[in-house]
Amino acid sequence: MFFGGSGLTRPADAEAVAKRLLEVLAEPFVVAGENLTQHASIGVVAWDRVRENSTELIQDADAALYEAKRAGKGRYVLFTPSMRQRAVSSYSIVQELEQALQSDEISMSYQPIVKLAENKVVGFEALMRWAHPERGQVPPDVFIPLAERSDLIFGLGSFALREAISAARAWSRSADPSNRPYVTVNCSARQFHDPNLLSVIEETLTAGGLEPSLLFLEITESVALADIVGTTSMIEHLDHLGIGIALDDFGTGYSSLSYLALLRPKIIKIDKSFVSPARESLYSDKLLEAIVSLGQKLDMIVLAEGIETQVQLDRLLDLGCDLGQGYLFSPAVPAREVAALLDRSSGIRAKRNTARTPAVPRVSRPRTRLRSKRP
């Protein structure tokens, strides 16, 4: 959005228009008989008639739009010169990321998913890592959003699927046929709504030799609702292939019962903020109880994220939560360490007494969690 003409002479004029646009776009609309609510983001830049470089103007508007998206849903941001420097830095990271994908700097790690009642590992979440030779470990929440603004996200997504499927195939070969761990892979909005996704998945599964039932795709509520009609169609096709859907960060987005009825995911993942809230309270505990109960009543598998203490684990067991993951069990580990986790888990289960003990002993690693909600 630009101002400097059409009667807009001051930043306040543009802000008034931006606010009105956001209000209109936030009004509910009906799709397939369901009321849906979405929020837009707006970047605003001034055209002062001195600057005639339209490309630069569009780049500045895009930088402001990116800042608006970073700030949260339903916001607008006025461009400032400092945003241009951040945009240049972001462009540099994207260029380096493209090279990293070709030079083995990108890898996948796997965090165990534990069946709480039986105290055993049943799956792993695949999480992307970037070990930059100079920057060190670059967090996924830094490079994934930048990749999603370019077509590089498709390369990263294909890489994540290929690596995760290959790893899961190796686990299934060595595991007990009745207890083969599955793998979950995060999907970004652009990847999930890409018309080529189904063919990419089918080809990767065939090449990797993995049964579709051992693959789950994780999407957030915002990804699902970006195109609810397309999402429901995609889920139906994935279900036909035997691939499950896990709805991530449940409780932090829209969390509408009507959306759950439309999407019908096999797994809903309770966000860490409900499992280990910043402040313990009766209110947060009741919310956790309600989410677990909701999943049970809808016949969905409930997975709690971010379990860090025995107290949290005990509470989830009391509520009858199905699955869990977190540092109490293990952080994400490289593929080469997964076999050892599975072996230790099996040994502990064989010796397990009535006491509640984590299935996977804690691993002595830094507690910084570099977790991607995208590929």
Give pLDDT tens digits for 110-137: 999 999 998 889 999 999 999 998 888 9
pLDDT at 362: 43
> What's the N-to-C CA distance of the chain in angstroms?
31
Cα–Cα dist 94/92, whole Å: 5
Within 13 A of 15's CA, how many CA atoms are on the CB side?
6
Cβ-Cβ contacts under 8 Å for 341 (sequence gap 6 or more): 112, 121, 330, 333, 360
Radius of gyration of the chain (CA): 22
Q: List the one residue out of 65, 88, 87 whose CA is nearest residue 77.
A: 65
- Cβ-contact 40, 83 below 8 angstroms: no
- Cβ-contact 295, 264 below 8 angstroms: no
pLDDT at 83: 77
- Grade residue 354 by pLDDT with cuts at 50, 70 and 90: very low
Q: List the one residue out of 291, 244, 238 whose CA is nearest residue 122.
A: 244
Taking residues 27-41, what's their average pLDDT? 75
Taking residues 163-168, what's their average pLDDT? 96
Fold of 2-79: Alpha-Beta Plaits (3.30.70)
pTM over 0.85: no
Looking at per-residue confidence, does 367 or 271 come out higher? Answer: 271
| Ranges of each domain in the chain | 2-79, 96-351
pLDDT at 50: 60
Cα–Cα dist 33/80, whole Å: 42
Residues in a beta bridge with 112: 124
Cα–Cα dist 373/375, whole Å: 7
Helical residues (DSSP H) of 175-301, grouped into ranges: 189-192, 197-208, 221-225, 228-241, 257-263, 272-275, 282-297
Looking at per-residue confidence, does 352 or 264 come out higher? Answer: 264
* The two three-digit tokens of residue 266, written as one number: 């096999």
Beta strand segments in 103-208, E: 106-115, 120-132, 136-138, 182-186
Beta strand pairing call for 301-304 and 267-270:
parallel
Class of CATH domain 96-351: alpha beta
Asked whether the domain spanning 96-351 has the same topology as the one spanning 2-79, the reply is no
